[in-house]
Structure 1
Amino acid sequence: MTSSTGRSRVIYTPAPLTTAEKVRRARAWADHEVITRLVAARIRTTGRRRALPLDAVAAGIMLHALGRPTAMTISGVTRTIRAVSPSERFALGFPPGAVIRYRPVLSGFHALREAMGTGCLVDHDHDLTADEQTGEVDDCPDGCPFTPASLDDVATGLVQASIPTTWTPPSVVAIDGTDVESAYRARTSSARADDDALRSPDGDARWAKRTGTDRRPSELYFGYEAHIATFAPEPQGESLPQLAAGLALRPGVGDRAGAALGIIDALRHVTEVLLDRGYTTSRAVNLARPLRERGITVTMDLHSTQRGVRPGPIPGSLWIDGALYSDALPEPLRHLEPPKIGDTATEKARARELFDKREAYRFTPLARRHDERGTQRWKGPALAGHLRCPNTPASMRLGRHLPTAGCARGGACACGKTVTVRDTDLERDRQPFAWQSTRWALSFNRRSLIEGLNAQLRYQVRNVNRGYFRIPGLLATTLLMAVTLAAHNIERLRDWHLGRHQPDPWQVELGEEPSTEPMDRHTWTRGRRRPYRG
């Protein structure tokens, strides 16, 4: 909504969640299939019974995260569970009269952490047998509950458990990484993995480099990189709440392509992904090819090593910035500089006008991709009706609003030809839209949603910085980070919908009465950029 003058935007802020609402949402999250399978994987039928149920401990951890704590610690979780009333503890799943102590809560957390690292959500309920000659494991009998899962699958499942079934997510995601610094210092500045593991209490953490921002310069840090995905709308489509869609945690800075693929495989409904150069500079066999085999398109920025002019597959064609063009493209349009970050919107629009002029000379798909051969047919710009060329007489009868190629009649011209392009030809740098064109910018600019989500987690809403997680290890940090993202989703869904006078999806899921509490109201006006006076 806008103000009466039309210059300001009206923002409504709902009241915080009540304790009863937090308890219901924490219990609903703990009842999700993923958490239920984690709990089932750690249930033992022999030995001493646990003092506190695992599902109740999971709900207590979520309840603590919903309170926006200064740190995700087990002692803080224990205090949060103790602070609620006995009826609310019973609603979380704790038995009546249960004594909440630190040790049982910590034991429950360790059990959930170990379940995440076993490689399966539910183990076999029978003894495994194998062929004596080949060593192949025999198939499981009917009804076996075994469910294999990687750490990325479980972490993404924990995040997805915070999204109710009444909210339908889109099929486009943007992925980016943010540093998660370990609370434990390494006693060496060496980046060697063996030194890190032996000299630090956090044996899984590694040294890595983070890029500089306006808050801090480029520097080394010791910890992990959290690869987070968020949902993105269609270009120029309706806005969406900034929700976390998936999570993959890696020690230091490494295996970015594997982390992105792990999230995509865990989501299972992705058709398009938005990535920056930190991912797309990976080798084609590690990212571009697996994405193509999964039928997923990618919109990406190009590194300086991915740009430039290269020979095309046939005479008269050129690869320029990851797209196939006719060599009739004028020389001034072959080497263009992208707009800079500090440019105004007008300057960026003028720069992209030059990139848009390339479109008339670009090859376009002639038919769908041939899956068996791994090839696709493309047609020249004159054959597609985008360019007038003297070597294609039919194109000269098109309107004069189209540009005319300067090809010599009878020369080696590819404007009216078709070409078969293999999937392996420049596969790392190709994408549906020409780089830096207006259509590409409208699509790629949706990636700013993941930047906003990271800013909310790090500075604006929460403080996921050094000291926020104080338990060492990859599994423990992944579990706490997944719970933090899930709590953020629950709060963000409520604030986004109530701020637009729409029902909260979790209210609908849990059958709660619509919220009638008044909301805070304030206006936001975009400031005018002042000219620099040096």
Structure 2
Amino acid sequence: MLPALVLGVRLDKPGQSPGSNGLKILTRLRERGYKPGYLTGDRAYNNSEPGEWQLPIRAMGYKPVYDYRADQLGKQAETKGAILVEGTWYCPSMPQPLINATIDLHADRIDRETWTRYIAARKPYRLMPKENPDDEGHQRMMCPAEAGKAQCPLKPHTLGRGIHLPLVDPEPNPAGAVKVCRQRTVTVAPEAGAKHWQAHEYGGQEWQKIYFRLRNSVEGSNGYAKDPLAEGIEAAGSRRIRGIAAQTILLAYQLAHANRRKIIKWLDTLALGGERPRRRTHHRRKTKPLANWTPAGYMAPAA
């Protein structure tokens, strides 16, 4: 596996415009031919203004994968009757315990096993994409009952499909059914719920695999470059000069050296030119590690 390297850096005050600073780095990487993929960061990034981070990165082709602050959990936005719950569009009649699952977990009203079941139980209520987003980012989304994932009395032709599909229980509305419940599909604009929308269902297996892998890579790279016996970027004494421009240049040299150190160590584990590797890779045991028994859906406690 290739080592995770630092490809860009901008220096600013702590917490100062992380979105706009991150966007400038991604723009330079794009100019150099790097292809977009999944993208994550700490909670400061998805707390940016959508026009400074969330919408531009999606326009560039990145797929955001976010975690949320405690006050951003549950229902986050609404469009045409559909509700955005922790980054994903769902049927407006999704049961309240499923909407508040992560809120209740943080408040210790449910345990992690129950939370995992509730996260999985959200899936049949998710709006399904009918087609890929168009050139402007608008996407046709299908009601879950119309997509064959649920049954809804507002759409009688979806009933009688079997007890394996949940039966939606819409609340009576004097104004009549909302648009997503009247139509087979609705168009979701890119601005709708842009602050919190993400590519995968929050807490699901795919989300966990991508989010924790990317976040661990970031934190691991930070820790690697902070090694006091190597670059020690956390120590201000290693850059004894004033001015953000000078500090940025020195930090860039330190990170470049950390990259070089990591690449050399990686190359030493490879058999090149018919020679044996200079360094042995980590011994991989044939027995199962303790992590294999981690409960599905496990998340680190909220800070």
Structure with greater strand share of residues: 1
Amino acid across the alignment from 1:362: R
- 1:426 paired with 2:193, answer yes
**RMSD, aligned CA:** 3.4
Q: Does 1:297 align with 2:80?
A: no
Distance 2:240 2:211 in 1: 36
Distance 1:326 1:314 in 2: 11
In 2 relative to 1, CA 482–355 (structure 1 residues): closer, same or farther, beyond 3 Å? same
Give 1:106-255 correspondences, 5 Å limit. 239-255=1-17
1:106-145 residue CA offsets vs partner (Å, 9 max, x unmatched): xxxxxxxxxxxxxxxxxxxxxxxxxxxxxxxxxxxxxxxx
1:491 aligns with 2:261: yes
Are 1:319 and 1:325, in contact at CA under 8 Å, matched by a contact in 2?
yes
Structure whose alpha-carbon radius of gyration is higher: 1
Provide Cα deviations, 1:321-366, integer angstroms capped at 9, x if missing partner: 33222122112112122666xx9xxx75652331121111011222
Structure 1 position 307 matched with structure 2 position 77: no
Whether the aligned pair in 1 keeps the contact of 2:77 and 2:192 (CA below 8 Å) is no
Which residue type is aligned with residue 498 of structure 1? D
1:284 correspondence with 2:50: yes
Aligned AA (2:93): A
Aligned length: 274
**Could you tell me how far apart the structure 2 residues matched to 1:520 and 1:390 are?**
59
**SS across alignment from 2:56:** helix
Change (3 A) 1:349 1:515: farther
Does structure 1 residue 361 correspond to structure 2 residue 131? no
2:21 maps to what in 1? 259
User: Are 2:191 and 1:441 equivalent residues in the alignment?
Assistant: no
Question: Who is 2:100 aligned against?
Answer: 335
Aligned to 2:242: 472
Partner SS state of residue 250, structure 1? coil
| TM value normalised by structure 2 | 0.76
1:151-188 Cα deviation digits (max 9, x unpaired): xxxxxxxxxxxxxxxxxxxxxxxxxxxxxxxxxxxxxx
SS in 2 for 1:467: helix
1:278 Cα shift? 1.1
Asked if residue 458 in structure 1 is aligned to residue 220 in structure 2, the reply is: no
Do the aligned partners of residues 291 and 523 (structure 1) sit closer, same or farther apart at CA in structure 2, a change above 3 Å counting? closer
Query: Does residue 158 of structure 2 align to residue 395 of structure 1?
Result: yes
Q: Is the 8 A contact 1:306 1:322 kept in 2?
A: no
Partner AA of 1:331 in structure 2: Q
- How many angstroms does 1:490 deviate by? 2.0
Q: Deviations over 1:72-104 (max 9, x none)?
A: xxxxxxxxxxxxxxxxxxxxxxxxxxxxxxxxx
Partners of 2:241 and 2:161 in 1: CA distance: 69
Could you say which residue in structure 2 is the equivalent of 1:326? 91
Instruction: Choose from 115, 135, 138 the match for 1:351.
Output: 115
Amino acid of the structure 1 residue aligned with 2:191: T
Q: Offset of 1:370 from its aligned partner?
A: 3.0
Distance 2:274 2:242 in 1: 41
Mapped to 2, the partners of 1:418 and 1:523 lie a distance apart of 50
Query: Where does residue 65 of structure 1 map in the other structure?
Result: none
Q: CA deviation at 1:475?
A: 2.2
Distance 2:283 2:37 in 1: 38
Alignment of 1:495-534 (within 5 A): 495-499=265-269, 502-503=270-271, 514=275, 517=278, 519=280
Hey, what does 2:294 align to over in structure 1? none
Q: Give the structure-1-normalised TM-score.
A: 0.46
For 1:468 and 1:252, the matched residues in 2 are separated by 19
Q: Is the contact between residue 390 and residue 409 of structure 1 (CA under 8 Å) also seen in structure 2? A: no
Whole-angstrom distance in 2 between the partners of 1:352 and 1:522: 33
Asked whether the equivalents of residues 288 and 428 of structure 1 are also in contact (C-alpha less than 8 Å), the reply is yes
Rounded Cα–Cα distance in structure 2 between residues aligned with 1:254 and 1:438 = 32
Unpaired segments ≥5 residues, structure 2: 292-303
Q: Which residue of 2 aligns with 1:482?
A: 252
Alpha-carbon distance between aligned partners in 2 of 1:490 and 1:291, rounded to the nearest angstrom: 29
Q: Aligned-pair distance for 1:409?
A: 11
Instruction: Supply the distance in 2 between the matched residues of 1:449 and 1:242 (Cα, whole angstroms).
Output: 7
Q: Which runs of 5+ in 1 are unaligned?
A: 1-238, 529-534
Give the partner amino acid of 2:158.
S
1: CA distance, partners of 2:221 / 2:64: 20
1:380 corresponds to = 143
> 1:265–1:519: structure 2 CA closer, same or farther, 3 Å change rule?
same
The alpha-carbon distance between structure 1 residues 430 and 522, as it changes in their structure 2 partners (threshold 3 A), is closer
Q: CA deviation at 1:285?
A: 1.3
Q: Corresponding residue for 1:273? A: 39
CA distance in 2, matches of 1:439, 1:520: 28
Match of 1:106?
Answer: none
